[in-house]
Amino acid sequence: MRVFLALLTYFSYFFIVFMYTLKIVEYLKMPLHLRWELYPVIPEERFKYGGSYMEEPLFWEKKRRRSLLRGLLFLLKDYFVLSEYFKRKRSYWLSLYPWHVGFITIILFHISCFFSGLLMLLGFRLSPSSSLVGSAFYYTTVSLGLLSFLTGLFGSVGILIKRLEDADLRLYAAPMNFLTYVFTILVFSSGLYAFFLDPSLEEYRHFWEGLLSLRFVDVSRETAIHIILFSLFLIYLPFTRSIHYITRILGFFLIRWDDRPNKRGGEIEGLLERELERKVDWAAPHVKRGVSWKENALSL
C-alpha cells in the first residue's frame, strides 16, 4: 500500500506538471495574432481611466511607459480576492471564493508538507514545542490544511448547490462540471475527516518525508483515502478547465493587454512577414485559395 501511495503521488504530480506544460507550450506556440486589446490595459501608464498611448499625437515617436509588474500584481491580487465576482455576482462569489481559497491553500499546504518533510530529513523536529522553525512549519502546515479542507468543502458544496439552483448557471453546465464539484467535495471532505483523526497532520508530514527520502511509510486508512483522492484529482485536473489559473495570465498579457505597436523593422514586423506567407485555404468565392495571405491582401 505504501509503495502504491507513493508511486501514485509521484505520478500524479508528474502528470499534472507534464500536461500543464504541454498545454502552456501549445498556447505559447500559437502564431502572433492581430491586435485585439481591450482597455483598460493595466500595464499602461493611463490605466486608471483606460487610456492608451494612442491618445498622444505622434505616439510612435514617443517612449511608451509600461509596467509589467503592475499588470502581474493586478492579476495575482485578484487570485486572492476575485473582485469582479464580488462586485457583480455576490451570491456566486460566496461559494466561489471559499472554493478557490480551498484550492490555493491546498497547494500551499502541499508545498508546506514538502518543506516540512525536507526539514525532518535534515533533523528538525516539527511540533508546537520545537524550535522556532519547527513550530512555525508545524503551525503553518496544520493551519493551511485545516483552512483548505474547511473552505474547500464549504465552497464545493456551495458551488454545486448554486449551479443546480441558479437556472442561468444550470443551463450551461455539462455533467462534467458536476463531476468536478463532487470530486472536490470528496477530496476536501476526506482531508477534513483525516484531519479530525490526526489534528497534528503528523502522518502527512511523515508521508512527505518518506516521499523525499524514498523510505515510504504507512499511513492510516483515512489519510490514505485522502491521498488517493487528491492524487486522482491531480490526474483529473488537466482534463478540466482548471489551467485557467495560468492561462488567465497568458490571456491577459498576450491578448487583452497586447498593445505592442508594430514598428518598422522591428521584431513584430519580422514575425508578421512569416505569418503573411501562410497559404490560405478558405473556400468562399472572394478568397484566392492556395495563395498566401500577402497575395490575397494585395489582390481583389
Restricted to residues 73-102, the positions that interact with other proteins (CB under 8 A) are 78, 82-85, 88-89, 92, 96
Residues 203-242 that bind other proteins (CB under 8 A): 241
Residues 33-62 that bind other proteins (CB under 8 A): 33-41, 44, 46, 49-60
For residue 40, say if its preceding peptide bond is cis, omega within 30 degrees of 0.
yes
Q: How far apart are the C-alpha atoms of 71 and 77, rounded to whole Å?
A: 10
| Pair 38, 62: CB distance under 8 Å | no
Q: Report the nearest approach of other proteins to the CB of residue 157 (Å).
A: 17
**Which residues make Cβ contacts (< 8 Å) with residue 245, sequence separation at least 6?**
79
Binding of other proteins at residue 168 (CB under 8 A)?
yes
Instruction: Please name which of 17, 11, 20 lies closest in space to residue 211, comparing C-alpha atoms.
Output: 11
Residue type, 101: V
Helices within the chain (DSSP H only): 2-28, 68-79, 83-88, 90-121, 132-165, 167-172, 175-197, 202-213, 221-236, 244-251, 267-276, 293-298
Residues 106-165 that bind other proteins (CB under 8 A): none
Size of the site for other proteins (CB under 8 A): 84
Q: How far apart are the C-alpha atoms of 175 and 204, rounded to whole Å?
A: 33
Q: Report the nearest approach of other proteins to the CB of residue 201 (Å).
A: 31
Residue (111 or 182) nearer to other proteins, CB: 182
Q: Pattern of binders to other proteins over 267-296, x per CB under 8 A?
A: -xx--xx-xx-xxxxxxxxxx-----x--x
Q: Report the nearest approach of other proteins to the CB of residue 23 (Å).
A: 9
Residue (87 or 122) nearer to other proteins, CB: 87
SS3 166: coil
Residues 235-254 that bind other proteins (CB under 8 A): 241, 243-244, 247-248, 250-252, 254
| Pair 153, 194: CB distance under 8 Å | no
Please return the burial class of 251, using the count of CB atoms within 10 Å of its CB with bins 0-12, 13-18 and 19+. Answer: middle
Residue (208 or 252) nearer to other proteins, CB: 252
| Pair 292, 280: CB distance under 8 Å | yes
> Quick one: which segment of 23-31, 64-72, 208-216, 226-234 binds other proteins (CB under 8 A)?
23-31
Residue (35 or 221) nearer to other proteins, CB: 35
Residue (202 or 275) nearer to other proteins, CB: 275
Residues 176-195 that bind other proteins (CB under 8 A): 176-177, 179
> Quick one: which segment of 190-198, 204-212, 220-228, 265-273 binds other proteins (CB under 8 A)?
265-273
Q: Report the nearest approach of other proteins to the CB of residue 258 (Å).
A: 9
**Which residues make Cβ contacts (< 8 Å) with residue 106, sequence separation at least 6?**
144, 148, 149, 152, 187, 188, 191, 230
Please identify which residue in 24, 169, 212, 232 interacts with other proteins, judged by CB under 8 A: 169
